Amino acid sequence: MRIGRLCAIASFASLAGCNSSSSSNAACGDVACTLIDRDPEPSDDDFDAVDPRSAVNFALPDAQVSQVDVVGGEVVMGPPSCPMPAIEQGCTRTLKRLRIAINRFFVELDVAPEIEVDHAVVSVEAPLSVSSPAGLGYVVPVGTQVHTCATIDGKAWHDTRALARELFIGRQPSGGVNVDGPLPMALRASNAQCSPVTLTGDVLAAYDRSSPAGDAGSE
């Protein structure tokens, strides 16, 4: 992880500064994650080997950017609905899984203690039909539900946010895929109200097959 402490915009207050104190509030109970996507099948394209250069850039209120490493995840896509020549006219596929696993980091809040976020996985609710306008890659549309599963101050957490901008899944020359676009994280503070916190970043992550399995599929 390159930078481990972030100042996040909490939904209950605008940021004027950061409080560096840390504590875990007992009022915030465990919230279990639920399965919101699909496992790969033999005919699917499954990409689960992350490029170590992958990262999420979080824009801070003072216009600085903090970067947190992407340490895992998976992209699973069903077979294309069109042959290779149809790429120029666009194509449609079923996105069965898009998970982004993020390294441990800390968030400093204005009106609540600092929180520790560990084992964070941000996932798109799937299956989902995604289209590929010529030359743009596959588009995850605005409004798609994005789930955050994490451990916050030692307690399990799960919440959702909707995509405010399109997320793109492009194809690499190597046959892998890259994920590029907004990544909303639904977190919470460790205060008496367990107040919701939204942290928004831009992800640029690349995934390949963990073992060679032929072509990545047509777009």
Percent of the chain past pLDDT 70, that is, above it, reads 74
> Between the ranges 22-36, 74-88, 127-141, 147-161, where is the mean pLDDT highest?
147-161
Where exactly are the structural domains of the chain?
5-13+27-80+89-208
- Supply φ then ψ for residue 103, to 5 degrees: -65, 160
> What's the pLDDT score for residue 115?
86
**Average of pLDDT values for 33-42?**
92
Average of per-residue pLDDT across 143-170: 95
Torsion angle of C-alpha atoms 158, 161, 165, 169, degrees rounded to 10? 30
The set of residues, in sequence order, having a beta carbon less than 8 Å from that of 31 and lying 6+ positions away, is 155, 156, 157, 158, 159
Residue 189 pLDDT grade (very low, low, confident, very high; cuts 50, 70, 90): confident
pLDDT for the residue numbered 18: 36
Residue 84: predicted pLDDT: 55
The average confidence (pLDDT) of the chain is 79
| Predicted TM-score of the model (pTM) | 0.81
133-142, 144-153, 183-192: which has the highest mean pLDDT? 144-153
- Percent helix, strand, coil in the chain, to 5, is 5, 50, 45
Q: What is the mean pLDDT of residues 66-91?
A: 77
Is the sign of the CA dihedral 119, 4, 188, 178 positive or negative? negative
Which pairing describes strands 145-152 and 138-140: parallel, antiparallel, or unpaired?
A: unpaired
Answer whether residue 92 shows pLDDT above 70. yes
Per this entry, what is the length of the chain?
219
Look at 65 and 111; give whichever has higher pLDDT: 111
What does the pLDDT average to over 102-125? Answer: 87
Per-residue confidence (pLDDT) for residue 12, from 0 to 100 = 35
**pLDDT score of 46 more than 50:** yes
